[in-house]
Structures are given as C-alpha cells and as structure tokens.
Amino acid sequence: MNIRRTTMTRRAMTAVAITTGLVLTVAGCGGGGDDDKSDKESSPTSSTKEDKGGDDKGESQAPAADAALAEVKSNGITLTVTSASRDEGGFLTINGRVTNGTSGIWVGSEWRSDENELKKNGGSLAGASVVDAQGKKKYLVLRDTSGRCLCTKFEGGINQSQSVDWYAQFPAPPEGTTKVEFQVPTMPPASIELSEGE
C-alpha cells in the first residue's frame, strides 16, 4: 500500500514539476502581463484584445470576448467554455465561466472529485475530465504534490446571478485529436475544439 502511494506521489510530483517548469518557460517567452497569464497564454485572441496597445483589429474585439466554445446548463447552473488550448509542455488548459442561476449560494460541492487524493479540494473543478473519443482515453484534472487540483476552487461559493471565471488543466491528448468532450459531474458533456498554444 505504501509503495503504491509513494509511486503515485512521485508521479504527481514529476507532473507538477514539469508543468510548473513549462508554465514558467511559456510565461517568460510570452512577455505579457503578470496577472491573468494562463488566460492570456491559452487564448492568443484574448491577449491581443486585453493588451494596452490593442489598436489593430478593434472591430473583432467584441465578438472574441463573447465567443464561447460550448455552453451547458443543469440545475440552474450554466457552464461556459471559452478556450481550450494545448500547450507545448504536454498539457491542456481549459478556461470558462460558471453562472449561478439558482435562488441561493452555489458552492460547487457536486463538482468535486471522487478520488481520495482530490476529495479535500471541496467545491472545485477537481471532478472534471476530458474524454478523447478518437483515442478512447479519459484524462483527469492534474494535481500538485499536496493533492490540490490544478483548477479553480469555488471558495465561499457563488452568489445568485453571479458569474465566476474558472480554469482546469489536464494532460493533453495527442496532436491528432482536435475535438474532445469536457465533462463535469451533474452537467451534460460539452464538445469543444482544441487550439494550439504559442
């Protein structure tokens, strides 16, 4: 039992180390702002519209901001996927927005993972997965060595009629895969097109 746990921990540590190194490398090469790095890196169109010098293609800014790859609804919650970018480091970053259309605070507890290692993430996207039907594989959300998912945690919940941006990172499907299904517990699957990161 301890050998299995040690092996899983080593794998998780290796994945986090590689992911962290690649994120820092990509961030160093990007030369963009400091705050929303993953959002800007995963969606080149959003980085051009949010930069201070966004004077070219001014007319395409509004449609790009409103564009959604997919949107699914269940139990008063709307899940929107705005970008899904495969990075050179071998991981896939998916970004979007969740909107609470219920009559009270939504904490996201039904989206947590069933995995023992990820259960302590509470209300989060820890239970999300990506299904590559072409390759017949399911990819679970990445996590760090402490068992925290590389995803958004909905700490404090989301008030009625409010929206919150989210992200989740997964191992990237093979390059030949251009379409996957993003799945979150209690929500219908969302079919999304993948884009290549810079």
Domain boundaries, the chain: 2-48+61-196
Global pTM reads: 0.64
Contact between 35 and 41 under an 8 Å Cβ cutoff? The reply is no
pLDDT tens digits for 100-134?
A: 999 999 988 888 777 766 767 778 888 899 999 98
Measured CA distances, 21 to 14, 141, 147 (Å): 11, 18, 18
Mean pLDDT of 188-196: 91
Please give the Cα distance from 59 to 44 (Å, whole number).
16
| pLDDT for the residue 20 | 54
pLDDT tens digits for 146-191?
A: 888 899 888 888 999 999 999 999 999 998 899 999 999 999 999 9
Percentage of residues of the chain with pLDDT beyond 90: 39
Q: Cβ neighbours of residue 98 under 8 Å, at least 6 residues apart?
A: 77, 78, 79, 80, 108, 154, 158, 163, 164, 166
